[in-house]
Chain A
Amino acid sequence: MTTLTRQDLNFGQVVADILCEFLEVAIHLILYVREVYPSGIFQKRKKYNVPVQMSCHPELNQYIQDTLHCVKPLIEKNDAEKVVVVIMDKEHHPVERFVFEISQPPLLSISSDMLLSHVEQLLRAFILKISVCDAVLNNNPPGCSFTVLVHTRDAATRNMEKVQVIKDFPWIVADEQEVQMKEPRLIPLKSMTSDIVKMQLYVEERAQKT
Protein backbone atom coordinates (compact mmCIF):
# COMPACT_ATOMS: atom_id res chain seq x y z
CA MET A 1 0.00 0.00 0.00
CA THR A 2 1.28 3.45 -0.90
CA THR A 3 0.38 6.38 1.29
CA LEU A 4 0.41 9.76 -0.31
CA THR A 5 -0.09 13.20 1.11
CA ARG A 6 -2.40 15.72 -0.50
CA GLN A 7 0.60 17.44 -2.09
CA ASP A 8 1.79 14.33 -3.92
CA LEU A 9 0.96 13.61 -7.55
CA ASN A 10 -1.67 16.36 -7.69
CA PHE A 11 -3.93 13.96 -5.91
CA GLY A 12 -6.18 16.78 -4.77
CA GLN A 13 -6.69 17.56 -8.44
CA VAL A 14 -7.72 13.98 -9.18
CA VAL A 15 -10.22 14.03 -6.33
CA ALA A 16 -11.57 17.39 -7.52
CA ASP A 17 -11.94 16.04 -11.06
CA ILE A 18 -13.86 13.00 -9.82
CA LEU A 19 -16.12 15.04 -7.54
CA CYS A 20 -16.83 17.79 -10.08
CA GLU A 21 -17.71 15.22 -12.74
CA PHE A 22 -20.05 13.59 -10.24
CA LEU A 23 -21.56 16.92 -9.16
CA GLU A 24 -22.25 17.83 -12.79
CA VAL A 25 -24.23 14.62 -13.31
CA ALA A 26 -25.97 15.08 -9.95
CA ILE A 27 -27.02 18.68 -10.70
CA HIS A 28 -28.50 17.71 -14.09
CA LEU A 29 -30.36 14.87 -12.46
CA ILE A 30 -31.71 17.01 -9.60
CA LEU A 31 -33.00 19.60 -12.09
CA TYR A 32 -34.72 16.82 -14.03
CA VAL A 33 -36.19 14.93 -11.07
CA ARG A 34 -37.40 18.09 -9.33
CA GLU A 35 -38.84 19.45 -12.61
CA VAL A 36 -37.04 22.77 -12.48
CA TYR A 37 -36.87 22.74 -16.30
CA PRO A 38 -39.09 21.11 -18.95
CA SER A 39 -38.35 17.39 -19.34
CA GLY A 40 -37.95 17.91 -23.11
CA ILE A 41 -34.49 19.39 -22.68
CA PHE A 42 -33.17 16.25 -20.98
CA GLN A 43 -31.75 13.24 -22.76
CA LYS A 44 -31.02 9.82 -21.35
CA ARG A 45 -27.30 9.06 -21.00
CA LYS A 46 -25.30 6.46 -19.20
CA LYS A 47 -23.03 7.58 -16.35
CA TYR A 48 -21.52 5.37 -13.67
CA ASN A 49 -23.09 2.53 -15.60
CA VAL A 50 -26.62 3.69 -14.82
CA PRO A 51 -29.07 5.73 -16.92
CA VAL A 52 -29.24 9.42 -16.02
CA GLN A 53 -30.95 12.45 -17.51
CA MET A 54 -28.67 15.21 -18.79
CA SER A 55 -29.75 18.57 -20.19
CA CYS A 56 -29.02 19.40 -23.83
CA HIS A 57 -29.70 23.12 -23.37
CA PRO A 58 -26.38 24.82 -24.23
CA GLU A 59 -26.76 27.83 -21.93
CA LEU A 60 -27.80 25.75 -18.94
CA ASN A 61 -25.02 23.24 -19.54
CA GLN A 62 -22.46 26.04 -19.77
CA TYR A 63 -23.79 27.58 -16.56
CA ILE A 64 -23.38 24.31 -14.68
CA GLN A 65 -19.91 23.79 -16.12
CA ASP A 66 -18.79 27.33 -15.24
CA THR A 67 -20.13 26.94 -11.71
CA LEU A 68 -18.18 23.74 -11.17
CA HIS A 69 -15.03 25.19 -12.76
CA CYS A 70 -15.08 27.81 -10.02
CA VAL A 71 -15.82 25.28 -7.29
CA LYS A 72 -13.06 22.89 -8.39
CA PRO A 73 -10.08 24.83 -6.93
CA LEU A 74 -11.81 24.80 -3.53
CA ILE A 75 -12.39 21.05 -3.64
CA GLU A 76 -8.80 20.56 -4.82
CA LYS A 77 -7.52 22.29 -1.68
CA ASN A 78 -10.08 20.57 0.54
CA ASP A 79 -11.72 23.92 1.19
CA ALA A 80 -15.26 23.13 0.08
CA GLU A 81 -17.13 21.92 3.13
CA LYS A 82 -20.51 21.77 1.41
CA VAL A 83 -21.83 22.19 -2.10
CA VAL A 84 -25.54 22.92 -2.02
CA VAL A 85 -28.02 22.86 -4.90
CA VAL A 86 -30.83 25.19 -3.83
CA ILE A 87 -34.22 25.13 -5.53
CA MET A 88 -36.09 28.39 -5.07
CA ASP A 89 -39.67 29.43 -5.62
CA LYS A 90 -40.82 32.40 -7.73
CA GLU A 91 -40.07 34.76 -4.84
CA HIS A 92 -36.52 33.36 -4.67
CA HIS A 93 -37.10 31.71 -1.31
CA PRO A 94 -35.50 28.28 -0.94
CA VAL A 95 -37.92 25.34 -1.05
CA GLU A 96 -35.35 22.54 -1.21
CA ARG A 97 -31.65 22.26 -0.55
CA PHE A 98 -29.64 19.28 -1.77
CA VAL A 99 -26.60 19.36 0.50
CA PHE A 100 -23.42 17.54 -0.50
CA GLU A 101 -21.18 17.49 2.58
CA ILE A 102 -17.63 16.73 1.55
CA SER A 103 -14.55 15.91 3.58
CA GLN A 104 -11.24 14.54 2.45
CA PRO A 105 -8.68 12.74 4.61
CA PRO A 106 -5.28 14.47 5.00
CA LEU A 107 -3.53 11.22 4.10
CA LEU A 108 -4.61 9.36 1.02
CA SER A 109 -4.10 5.62 1.00
CA ILE A 110 -4.00 4.11 -2.42
CA SER A 111 -4.26 0.38 -2.20
CA SER A 112 -4.76 -0.69 -5.82
CA ASP A 113 -6.23 0.10 -9.21
CA MET A 114 -9.54 -1.00 -7.75
CA LEU A 115 -9.75 2.36 -6.02
CA LEU A 116 -11.43 4.28 -8.82
CA SER A 117 -13.91 1.57 -9.65
CA HIS A 118 -14.80 1.36 -5.96
CA VAL A 119 -15.40 5.13 -5.84
CA GLU A 120 -17.46 4.85 -9.01
CA GLN A 121 -19.64 2.23 -7.35
CA LEU A 122 -20.17 4.49 -4.35
CA LEU A 123 -21.05 7.47 -6.54
CA ARG A 124 -23.46 5.34 -8.54
CA ALA A 125 -25.44 4.75 -5.36
CA PHE A 126 -25.79 8.53 -4.90
CA ILE A 127 -27.07 8.88 -8.46
CA LEU A 128 -29.62 6.13 -7.91
CA LYS A 129 -30.83 7.77 -4.70
CA ILE A 130 -31.22 11.15 -6.42
CA SER A 131 -33.16 9.57 -9.29
CA VAL A 132 -35.81 8.27 -6.87
CA CYS A 133 -35.82 11.11 -4.33
CA ASP A 134 -39.08 12.54 -5.72
CA ALA A 135 -40.83 9.69 -3.89
CA VAL A 136 -39.89 11.18 -0.52
CA LEU A 137 -40.26 14.86 -1.41
CA ASN A 138 -43.35 16.99 -1.87
CA ASN A 139 -44.01 18.62 -5.23
CA ASN A 140 -42.42 21.98 -5.82
CA PRO A 141 -44.53 25.00 -6.80
CA PRO A 142 -44.40 26.03 -10.49
CA GLY A 143 -41.81 28.52 -11.69
CA CYS A 144 -38.89 27.36 -9.56
CA SER A 145 -35.27 28.24 -10.28
CA PHE A 146 -32.00 27.06 -8.79
CA THR A 147 -28.59 28.17 -7.63
CA VAL A 148 -25.46 26.48 -6.30
CA LEU A 149 -23.87 27.50 -3.01
CA VAL A 150 -20.45 26.66 -1.66
CA HIS A 151 -19.66 26.63 2.03
CA THR A 152 -16.00 27.49 2.42
CA ARG A 153 -13.61 29.59 4.48
CA ASP A 154 -13.03 33.26 3.91
CA ALA A 155 -9.32 32.76 3.24
CA ALA A 156 -9.98 29.99 0.72
CA THR A 157 -11.88 32.23 -1.66
CA ARG A 158 -8.57 33.34 -3.18
CA ASN A 159 -8.33 29.90 -4.78
CA MET A 160 -11.39 30.77 -6.83
CA GLU A 161 -10.49 34.25 -7.95
CA LYS A 162 -8.35 33.46 -10.98
CA VAL A 163 -10.96 31.07 -12.33
CA GLN A 164 -13.70 33.61 -11.68
CA VAL A 165 -11.86 36.18 -13.80
CA ILE A 166 -11.05 33.72 -16.60
CA LYS A 167 -14.58 32.43 -16.74
CA ASP A 168 -16.18 35.86 -16.21
CA PHE A 169 -18.24 34.15 -13.55
CA PRO A 170 -18.04 36.19 -10.33
CA TRP A 171 -19.28 34.96 -6.96
CA ILE A 172 -20.51 36.89 -3.94
CA VAL A 173 -20.95 36.13 -0.28
CA ALA A 174 -24.52 35.08 0.42
CA ASP A 175 -26.63 36.48 3.21
CA GLU A 176 -27.56 33.74 5.64
CA GLN A 177 -31.29 34.51 5.42
CA GLU A 178 -31.16 34.31 1.62
CA VAL A 179 -30.11 30.70 1.67
CA GLN A 180 -31.44 29.13 4.87
CA MET A 181 -34.90 27.73 5.59
CA LYS A 182 -36.80 27.86 8.86
CA GLU A 183 -37.24 24.45 10.47
CA PRO A 184 -36.72 22.40 7.32
CA ARG A 185 -37.58 18.71 7.06
CA LEU A 186 -34.34 16.75 6.81
CA ILE A 187 -34.17 13.75 4.47
CA PRO A 188 -30.89 11.82 4.45
CA LEU A 189 -30.28 10.30 1.03
CA LYS A 190 -26.85 8.69 1.00
CA SER A 191 -23.43 8.70 2.58
CA MET A 192 -20.13 7.19 1.50
CA THR A 193 -16.70 6.66 2.92
CA SER A 194 -13.79 5.88 0.64
CA ASP A 195 -10.01 6.24 0.81
CA ILE A 196 -10.09 9.56 -1.03
CA VAL A 197 -13.32 11.24 0.05
CA LYS A 198 -16.16 11.11 2.52
CA MET A 199 -19.45 12.51 1.36
CA GLN A 200 -23.00 12.63 2.54
CA LEU A 201 -26.05 13.89 0.75
CA TYR A 202 -29.23 15.05 2.42
CA VAL A 203 -32.17 17.18 1.40
CA GLU A 204 -33.61 20.00 3.45
CA GLU A 205 -37.20 20.58 2.47
CA ARG A 206 -39.36 23.56 3.43
CA ALA A 207 -42.41 22.48 5.40
CA GLN A 208 -44.85 24.65 3.45
CA LYS A 209 -43.91 24.93 -0.20
CA THR A 210 -46.95 26.79 -1.50
Chain B
Amino acid sequence: ASETKEEKTELSASSGSDKVILLPCRNPPSCERVQLWLEARKQYDILEKDK
Protein backbone atom coordinates (compact mmCIF):
# COMPACT_ATOMS: atom_id res chain seq x y z
CA ALA B 1 0.00 0.00 0.00
CA SER B 2 2.94 2.30 0.59
CA GLU B 3 4.24 1.78 -2.94
CA THR B 4 4.58 5.12 -4.69
CA LYS B 5 3.54 5.92 -8.25
CA GLU B 6 7.21 6.47 -9.14
CA GLU B 7 8.06 2.95 -8.00
CA LYS B 8 5.18 1.53 -10.01
CA THR B 9 6.26 3.45 -13.10
CA GLU B 10 9.65 1.79 -13.22
CA LEU B 11 8.42 -0.94 -15.51
CA SER B 12 11.84 -2.34 -16.26
CA ALA B 13 13.10 -2.50 -12.70
CA SER B 14 12.60 -6.25 -12.45
CA SER B 15 13.65 -8.56 -15.23
CA GLY B 16 11.55 -11.65 -14.53
CA SER B 17 8.94 -13.25 -16.72
CA ASP B 18 6.16 -12.68 -14.20
CA LYS B 19 2.83 -11.76 -15.69
CA VAL B 20 1.85 -8.15 -15.23
CA ILE B 21 -1.18 -6.06 -16.07
CA LEU B 22 -0.42 -2.59 -17.41
CA LEU B 23 -2.70 0.40 -17.68
CA PRO B 24 -2.12 3.94 -18.95
CA CYS B 25 -1.40 6.68 -16.41
CA ARG B 26 -3.50 9.10 -18.41
CA ASN B 27 -7.28 8.92 -18.41
CA PRO B 28 -9.46 9.33 -21.48
CA PRO B 29 -11.62 12.49 -21.68
CA SER B 30 -14.57 12.34 -19.30
CA CYS B 31 -18.12 11.98 -20.55
CA GLU B 32 -18.92 15.50 -19.27
CA ARG B 33 -15.98 17.00 -21.17
CA VAL B 34 -17.05 15.23 -24.35
CA GLN B 35 -20.65 16.39 -23.85
CA LEU B 36 -19.47 20.02 -23.55
CA TRP B 37 -17.43 19.65 -26.74
CA LEU B 38 -20.46 18.21 -28.52
CA GLU B 39 -22.69 21.11 -27.47
CA ALA B 40 -20.05 23.66 -28.51
CA ARG B 41 -19.72 21.97 -31.89
CA LYS B 42 -23.49 22.02 -32.42
CA GLN B 43 -23.55 25.76 -31.66
CA TYR B 44 -20.63 26.31 -34.03
CA ASP B 45 -22.44 24.39 -36.78
CA ILE B 46 -25.56 26.54 -36.26
CA LEU B 47 -23.49 29.74 -36.46
CA GLU B 48 -21.78 28.52 -39.62
CA LYS B 49 -25.15 27.77 -41.23
CA ASP B 50 -26.43 31.26 -40.36
CA LYS B 51 -23.49 32.97 -42.02
Chain A residues with CB under 8 Å of chain B are: 36-38, 40-41, 57, 59-60, 63-64, 66-67, 70, 81, 143-155, 157-158, 160-161, 169-174, 176, 178-179
Q: Is the CB of B22 within 8 A of A172?
A: yes
Q: Is the CB of B21 within 8 A of A147?
A: no
Q: Is the CB of A148 within 8 A of B24?
A: yes
Decide if the interface of chain B is mainly helix, strand, loop or mixed: mixed
Chain A residues positioned under 8 Å from B27 (CB to CB)? 145, 147
A14 to B5, CA, bound (A): 34
Q: Which of B8, B16, B28, B35 lies at the interface centre, i.e. has the most chain A CB atoms within 10 A of its CB? A: B28
B37 on the interface (CB 8 Å rule)?
yes
Can you name 11 A-B residue pairings with CB atoms under 8 Å? Answer: A59-B33, A60-B28, A60-B29, A67-B24, A145-B31, A147-B23, A155-B17, A169-B25, A169-B26, A170-B9, A171-B25
- Tell me whether A57 and B19 are in contact in the complex, defined as CB-CB below 8 angstroms, given that A63-B28, A169-B24, A170-B25 are known contacts: no
Q: Contact check: which of A40, A144, A152 meets B19 at CB < 8 Å?
A: A152
CB contacts under 8 Å to A, within B7-51, are 8-9, 11-12, 14-31, 33-35, 37-38, 42
Chain B residues with CB under 8 Å of chain A are: 5, 8-9, 11-12, 14-31, 33-35, 37-38, 42
Q: Contact check: which of A40, A64, A145, A157 meets B20 at CB < 8 Å?
A: A157
Q: Contact check: which of A40, A157, A172 meets B23 at CB < 8 Å?
A: A172
Q: How far is the CB of B12 from chain A (nearest CB, A)?
A: 5
Q: Which of B9, B17, B20, B30 lies at the interface centre, i.e. has the most chain A CB atoms within 10 A of its CB? A: B20
- Tell me whether A179 and B38 are in contact in the complex, defined as CB-CB below 8 angstroms, given that A154-B17, A173-B11 are known contacts: no
Chain B residues positioned under 8 Å from A154 (CB to CB)? 14-20
Q: Is the CB of B26 within 8 A of A37?
A: no
A207 to B14, CA, bound (A): 36
Chain A residues positioned under 8 Å from B33 (CB to CB)? 59
Chain B residues positioned under 8 Å from A70 (CB to CB)? 24
Q: Is the CB of A179 within 8 A of B24?
A: no
A160 to B9, CA, bound (A): 12
A58 nearest in chain B by CB position = B37
Q: How far is the CB of A54 from chain B (nearest CB, A)?
A: 14
Q: Contact check: which of A146, A152, A173 meets B28 at CB < 8 Å?
A: A146
Chain A residues positioned under 8 Å from B26 (CB to CB)? 63, 66, 169-170
